Structure 1
Amino acid sequence: MYRRWSLMRQLKLNVLRLIRLRAEPNDIAKGFALGIFIGMTPTFGIQMVIAVFLAMLLEENKIAAAVGVWITNPLTAPFIYALEYESGRLLLGLDHAQLPSELTFSALKSLGWEVMLPMASGSLLYGMIASIISYMVMLQAVPVFKTLRIPRWPRRPRKR
């Protein structure tokens, strides 16, 4: 039944990638925390590239960083970005951004900083919190994950 759900399959494959990494739990946890931090930033679409690039620069685990970015996916991104915007707006003491009366490029361009500044400040706050928590959780979870035996997907019998 769940084999048809591509999101569930992708989640299972990402967990398997983490389990099969041949690295120390500390290295995996640091790479994962880096990915979580980048995943919380408002750089939707290029987060994985940024996370792998920073993991290469900082010599952290690239696969764990790429898996950590999956915290923001099409299902969770609207909620995360809305929370970051509202928190950043409250931290900076700003009013809600007003949508322009006409949707032209110049009107949307002027709206950019009214939205991006609160969102960026909120993402730094939540990124730090989420990455610290994920580091501590993964540091404890990786040794447990490595002892798990995850079964293969059920295969359909071949027709002859």
Structure 2
Amino acid sequence: MYRRWPLARQLKLLVLKFMRLRGTPEEVAKGLALGIFIGLTPTFGFQMLLAVFLAVILNENKFAAVLGVWVTNPFTAPFIYALEYESGRILLGMDYVRMPESLSFSALKSLGWEVMLPLTFGSLLWAILCSVAVYLAAIRIIPLAQKWKISRWPRRPRRGQGREL
């Protein structure tokens, strides 16, 4: 029954693409770790371009880097950035940000630094920790995943080709 669900089919195709990535497990794991690192930095909107650019420069797997960037997507980004901001704020010993009374350029400029400094510090901390953890996990999982044989889903009979009795 689940084989008729388009979302399940797309998820299976994504897993197949990941398993069939070309390159050694170490190259794929490095690309994935690079993508995770960039995905956890506050570069929302430029992450995929930055991942491909750095993967080309560092000669890593580009597709794995782009997959890793998707750790932050529109659904997870608010939670990830909030965690990174709070971590950076606590480690730097900063107070919570208060909204300025007037919306002048100078007030918004100071507000930007009060938000960006803890966010950047926290994101670098989490990016390093998570990319190392993903690399260590991927270097062990990828060789196993490349050996899996996933069978094709049976195709539905075309119209007019019903079951024969």
TM over 0.5: yes
Counterparts in 2 of 1:106 and 1:154: CA distance versus 1, 3 Å: farther
- Is 1:117–2:117 an aligned residue pair? yes
The question of whether the paired residues in 2 share the 8 Å contact of 1:19 and 1:145 is answered with: yes
Looking at structure 2, the residues matched to 14 and 105 of structure 1 have their Cα atoms a distance apart, in angstroms, of 45
| One-letter amino acid matched to 1:150 | I
Residue 50 of structure 1: CA displacement?
0.5
The question of whether the paired residues in 2 share the 8 Å contact of 1:14 and 1:67 is answered with: no
Looking at structure 1, the residues matched to 6 and 47 of structure 2 have their Cα atoms a distance apart, in angstroms, of 27
Q: TM-score, normalised by structure 1?
A: 0.86
Looking at structure 2, the residues matched to 152 and 67 of structure 1 have their Cα atoms a distance apart, in angstroms, of 23
Q: Which segments of 5 or more consecutive residues in structure 2 lack a partner in the other structure?
A: 161-165
Q: Aligned-residue CA RMSD in angstroms? A: 2.3
SS at match of 1:71: coil
Q: Which segments of 5 or more consecutive residues in structure 1 lack a partner in the other structure?
A: none
1:15-66 CA distances to partner (integer Å, 9 max, x unpaired)? 3222111210011101100000001001111111111101111111111111
**Looking at CA atoms only, which structure, 1 or 2, has the larger radius of gyration?**
2
- Percent identity of equivalent pairs: 59
1:59-102 CA distances to partner (integer Å, 9 max, x unpaired)? 11111111111111122111110010000011111111112335
Q: TM-score, normalised by structure 2?
A: 0.84
Looking at structure 2, the residues matched to 57 and 75 of structure 1 have their Cα atoms a distance apart, in angstroms, of 30
Aligned residue pairs, count: 158
Partner of 1:34: 34
Counterparts in 2 of 1:147 and 1:101: CA distance versus 1, 3 Å: same
Looking at structure 2, the residues matched to 12 and 66 of structure 1 have their Cα atoms a distance apart, in angstroms, of 18
1:112-156 CA distances to partner (integer Å, 9 max, x unpaired)? 111111000001000000000000000001011112233456755
Partner of 1:108: 108
